Amino acid sequence: MGRRKQAAEEPEERSALAGAVVVVLLLAVVFGALFAWSDAAGILGTVIACTVGVWWSATRRVSDSSAPPPPGEDRPSCRECAGHTLIGVTPSETQKGMLIYTSAPPDRPNHTHVHIVHTAAEEVSER
């Protein structure tokens, strides 16, 4: 009886694949019923479902899990950067693993100093 109690207390983890299979089967039944009722209703339902699916996939947000880690205290240093105020750090959209540091010197308010740095702390380009 100890095994049964232990098994009853531990809930099983649900698989995402199992949920997807259930959704696909339910959709197959719905579309099968639509096509059995009328070919035009089946085609219209398919077009509407595809339009909603494309709209949903185009408007949902992308996870930040693939984004580079947030910058630490090891910001780029060069002789021109001494005393600059850090404006922002932005991950590069075209090159993965690159961070764009922008800073402003205190004596030149309309000037922005830019560093493009590889996240492995090796400096790639300076402007």
Query: Which of 12-21, 79-88, 118-127 has the weakest average pLDDT?
Result: 118-127
Distance, in Å, from the CA atom of 22 to the CA atom of 13, rounded to the nearest integer, reads 16
End-to-end Cα, the chain, rounded Å:
72
Six-digit token pair at 59?
A: 């408007």
CB 88 within 8 A of CB 114: no
- In the three-class reduction of DSSP (H, G, I as helix; E, B as strand; rest coil), residue 28 is classed as helix
The answer, yes or no, to whether residue 123 has pLDDT greater than 70, is no
Predicted pLDDT of residue 95: 74
Burial of 115 (0-12, 13-18, 19+ CB in 10 A): buried
How do residues 53-71 score in pLDDT, each as one tens digit?
Answer: 899 988 887 766 665 555 5
Report H helices in 1-127.
2-9, 16-37, 39-59
Sequence-separated (6 or more) residues with CB below 8 Å from residue 96: 68
Q: Where are the domains of the chain?
A: 16-60, 75-126
- In the three-class reduction of DSSP (H, G, I as helix; E, B as strand; rest coil), residue 117 is classed as strand
